[in-house]
Amino acid sequence: MKPLSRNAQVLRYLLQVAPGVGRIKLAKFAYLADCEAHRYLGRPVSQFRYRYARHGPFDDRRFYAAKTELVEGGYATEVAVESGPYIGYELAPTNRPVEYGFDQAEVEILRYVAETYLSHSARSLCDEVVYQTPPMKDAKVGERLPMDRMRKAKDQQDELGFNLERLLAGEASAEAGRHRPLKEAVDELRARHRVASPSWWTTFITTGRRRSSTQKTS
């Protein structure tokens, strides 16, 4: 069986966390995940190449190719729904198993974005979140978006230079008993530099600790 392309995997995982979203929200979820990945990993999760399109950041050719790959391959369904005078499309995952090629850091970023912005309407997501991201600032319609601005924004706001992959590796080592727990190291950094970690990173630490506790008691 031919494995799903990287872009199709990204869309499918986002649908797994947020089933029933429309095309616009799904595309914006992928963009926001890539923004966060650039910020914390220095690289994107997907292989989309974003331009400032009519409805914001979008890579129409690659997005629709990935969506078609999912639908025709039986990994997702797409249903037309009426929305006032317009026709929209909602996508949902099927039960067909998927083999993802993400590392733990990428999984946490994708999950965070889908869970955090699921309750937003497409309009509020664009106006309040997407258009406020650094790559969209001063961007012109039709131009390729400078995603490396996310990395620069992180460097300007966080003198500690948090690296998600390094912290995740530290957490794995702590579980194996080789190093001290991640929370202890992060708390020390906070106290030393008096810098609060990003809100979504705090969510990740809390969630990870809860999962670890659940595993130990089960």
Q: For 107-164, how does the pLDDT look when each residue is reduced to its tens digit (9 = 90+)?
A: 999 999 999 999 999 999 999 999 999 999 989 999 999 999 998 766 554 443 445 6
Closest CA to 39 of 96, 89, 109: 109
For the segment 79-115, what is each residue's pLDDT rounded down to a tens digit? 999 878 888 899 999 999 999 999 989 999 999 999 9
Sign of CA dihedral 44, 47, 6, 54: positive
What pLDDT is attached to residue 171? 56
Confidence of residue 26 (pLDDT cuts 50, 70, 90): very high
Report which DSSP code applies to 22.
B
pTM: 0.74
**What integer pLDDT is reported at residue 12 of this predicted model?**
98
**The pLDDT value given to residue 218:** 46
pLDDT at 40: 87
CA–CA distance, 194 with 191 (Å, rounded to integer):
5
Question: Among the residues of the chain, which ranges form H helices?
Answer: 6-17, 23-41, 60-72, 104-117, 122-124, 149-157, 164-175, 182-193, 199-217
Q: Are 164 and 179 in contact (CB under 8 A)?
A: no
